[in-house]
Amino acid sequence: MGELEDRVASIRRFSRFYTRRIGVLHEGLLGSPLSLTEGRVIWELAQRAQATASELAAELGLGSSPASNSRG
């Protein structure tokens, strides 16, 4: 990874940690019916060619069952 990618990854790790810490993961995302967690999962899916529920759960710090059970 280059310096820019390292900085972005560091900021994203902090953001994920802090949003979990202050408890905003279950609040709505910008007035939408989606929770912040749901919005983050959708954003992560849009950034990848492929992803498994366990990969997303690990990266976002979720338990595996919420990601696996979110099939809609």
In tens, the pLDDT along 32-49 reads 777 777 888 888 888 888
**Confidence class of residue 15 from pLDDT cuts 50, 70 and 90?**
confident
Which two three-digit tokens encode residue 29?
């995302």
Average pLDDT over residues 4-9: 87
Q: Flag whether the pTM goes above 0.85.
A: no
In degrees, rounded to 5, the angle at the alpha carbon of residue 42 between the alpha carbons of residues 13 and 26 is 70
Helix or strand holding residue 19 (H, E): helix 3-22
The percentage of the chain sitting over the pLDDT mark of 90, rounded to a whole number, equals 0
Average pLDDT over residues 7-33: 73
CB 19 within 8 A of CB 62: no
